[in-house]
Amino acid sequence: MPDTSYEFLSDFFEHFLPFTPTAKQVDTFRADLSLVSPSLMKASLIEVRKGAQGKKVQYGCTEWRPAIFQVYNRKVAEHARLYPVFHSFETAFRSTVAVGLETHYDHKRWWRKIYEELRKGHPANTVRQIGAVPVTSHAAQAIGQIINAIDGESFQRGLVGNFNNGFEFVERCDLNDIYKLIDTHWHLFRPKLKSKGRLLSNTDFKAKFHNVREARNNVYHHKSVSEMRKVVEDAEELLDCLNFSLSFVCRKMSEARVPHLKFLISEDNVRHHTW
């Protein structure tokens, strides 16, 4: 049975490569494919084909592989450049939610009552207040869903019961959970979300937040990202609402003196997939 690369290669060569590769080139690319991201590789080939390098490739130039990898590695570098953006975005909104909900409910472990009711087999939305503060059915349900996602079916992971504060809780949330907590406590967080002199609507906030989240997920799963400029703009605008300057933080990160990585294994042009 053909390996998993066969179907990808067939589509790759039939629809995206503007010349017929030799058998040797097919074998070389199949070996490459076992070590790279198919999504990024495909996006790189399409970009090469549409650009100036594509004209050389189209006319039988044997430099198609270096051209593709040059774009591929640039895309990886672009992903790496986005790490400070995603790090800033995630940490700022996670901490904002942790502090905001603790302050709102006046309870260090504001999820605890819902957790206890779930352990008893009761629905999360039966909880009507946390401490002395009312909680909406919608918010309680969202918190309950997040608890179930963290602890798993029948609470077999046993994590939530050991959390001591909101920071520990939100660390285990995925980014969509953070959005759910903001959305279900919109009245609490909206006053903070003021951009360019106006409060963001829930629709605006959702669109921008999910645009950043989707790009973050694509980068972390080594997929191609379109409209990077819009992603950075949305992240910057939402962070600015929290009085967080993305440009300042990214500049400081770029100015940090970090030792270069040291590698002990020499390149082997025969064994390694170099180009």
* CA dihedral of 39, 75, 83, 94, whole degrees rounded to 10: -30
List Cβ neighbours of 104 (8 Å cut-off, separation of 6 or more): 110, 133, 185, 188
List Cβ neighbours of 43 (8 Å cut-off, separation of 6 or more): 75, 224
- The number of beta carbons lying within 10 Å of the beta carbon of residue 217 is 15
**Can you give the pLDDT of all 275 residues of the chain as single tens digits?**
455 666 666 667 667 776 677 777 777 877 887 788 888 888 888 888 776 555 555 545 457 788 888 999 999 999 999 999 999 999 999 999 999 999 999 999 999 999 999 999 999 999 999 999 999 999 999 999 999 999 997 898 999 999 999 999 999 999 999 999 999 999 999 999 998 889 999 999 999 999 999 999 999 999 988 889 999 999 999 999 999 999 999 999 999 999 999 999 999 888 887 87
Identify the H or E element spanning 130. Answer: strand 129-130
The pLDDT, as a whole number, for residue 6 is 61
Hey, what are 82's tokens? 């986005």
The pLDDT, as a whole number, for residue 64 is 76
Domain boundaries, the chain: 4-73, 109-163
The pLDDT, as a whole number, for residue 29 is 78
The pLDDT, as a whole number, for residue 39 is 85
User: pTM (2 decimals)?
Assistant: 0.87
List Cβ neighbours of 16 (8 Å cut-off, separation of 6 or more): 42, 45, 46, 49
**Cα–Cα distance, 23 to 39 (Å, whole number):** 23
**Cα–Cα distance, 177 to 174 (Å, whole number):** 5
Compute φ and ψ for 108, nearest 5 degrees: -65, -35
**Cα–Cα distance, 7 to 193 (Å, whole number):** 47
Hey, what are 1's tokens? 């049975």
The pLDDT, as a whole number, for residue 3 is 59
The pLDDT, as a whole number, for residue 153 is 79
* CA dihedral of 127, 130, 132, 134, whole degrees rounded to 10: -60
Identity of residue 66: P
